[in-house]
């Protein structure tokens, strides 16, 4: 899942992005409206954290603009303390939730995960494919009775495959949704992490779930490739 953090307080922005990356998200940062607008044209974000008070204008205006243009990703607005009118304006402009500063990172994380889960129809907490079980809240995965020891990035990648079962996902699609702007197009990091995830999924001789689709990328399926 790729997130955009729009926040002009640089230390806060970096702290949020670093915390989110530790949890396996891809996170880009924009310090103002103009940068946020540019970023949103370059990448297809799964969620945006939007500070409403930015040096070059109001986040509410950008949000309204995005919603008019059909930007549907969930937006969590960050507001100053005791600014009821700001929260109302944010929600009216199309925000899905808000958080009042200062906040605990754990709360932000819980709200981000909740918004991402709600986005799925129907909302899913636990995804199962064959004997693979993925708990989106606890961030754990298992095959049969065997728990999988996955890093946050591997969990994020597996989650993305599980949300698109049976679909051949291209390297570029995975790079866009699971990695952030620091991803280097020519690097083989996607292949490396897919390979590592596949080995962990197939430990103890478990049947293959991540199938290579020649010329495209990979597909998660319990069915063998045609």
Binding site for Ca ion (CB under 5 A): 8, 51, 53
Nearest approach in angstroms of CB 83 to Ca ion is: 12
Nearest approach in angstroms of CB 54 to Ca ion is: 6
> Which is closer to Ca ion, CB of 53 or CB of 198?
53
> Which is closer to Ca ion, CB of 12 or CB of 124?
12
Contacts 24+ apart (CB under 8 A), 205-213: 206/131, 206/143, 206/144, 206/146, 207/130, 209/129, 209/130, 209/132, 210/161, 213/168
Nearest approach in angstroms of CB 109 to Ca ion is: 20
Number of Cβ within 10 Å of residue 32's Cβ equals 18
Residue nearest to Ca ion as judged by C-beta position: 53
> Which is closer to Ca ion, CB of 50 or CB of 209?
50
Q: Which two tokens stand for residue 62?
A: 């950008």
Bridge partner list, 146: 143
The strand pair at 217-220 and 169-170 is best described as antiparallel
Nearest approach in angstroms of CB 207 to Ca ion is: 51
> Which is closer to Ca ion, CB of 39 or CB of 153?
39
């Amino acid at each position: 899942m790729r997130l955009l953090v729009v926040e002009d307080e640089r230390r806060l922005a970096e702290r949020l992005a670093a915390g989110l990356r530790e949890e396996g998200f891809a996170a880009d940062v924009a310090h103002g409206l103009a940068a946020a607008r540019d970023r949103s044209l370059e990448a297809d974000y799964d969620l945006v954290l939007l500070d409403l008070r930015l040096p070059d204008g109001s986040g509410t205006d950008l949000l309204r603009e995005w919603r008019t243009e059909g930007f549907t990703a969930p937006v969590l607005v960050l507001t100053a303390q005791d600014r009821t009118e700001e929260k109302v304006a944010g929600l009216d402009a199309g925000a899905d939730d808000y958080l009042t500063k200062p906040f605990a990172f754990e709360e932000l994380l819980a709200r981000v995960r909740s918004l991402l889960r709600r986005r799925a129809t129907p909302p899913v907490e636990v995804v199962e494919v064959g004997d693979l079980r993925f708990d989106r809240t606890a961030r754990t995965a298992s095959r049969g009775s065997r728990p999988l020891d996955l890093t946050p990035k591997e969990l994020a990648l597996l989650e993305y495959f599980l949300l698109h079962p049976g679909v051949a996902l291209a390297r570029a699609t995975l790079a866009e949704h699971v990695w952030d702007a620091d991803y280097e197009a020519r690097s083989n990091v996607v292949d490396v992490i897919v390979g590592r995830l596949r080995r962990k999924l197939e430990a103890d001789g478990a049947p293959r779930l991540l199938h290579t689709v020649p010329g495209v990328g990979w597909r998660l399926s319990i069915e063998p490739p045609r």
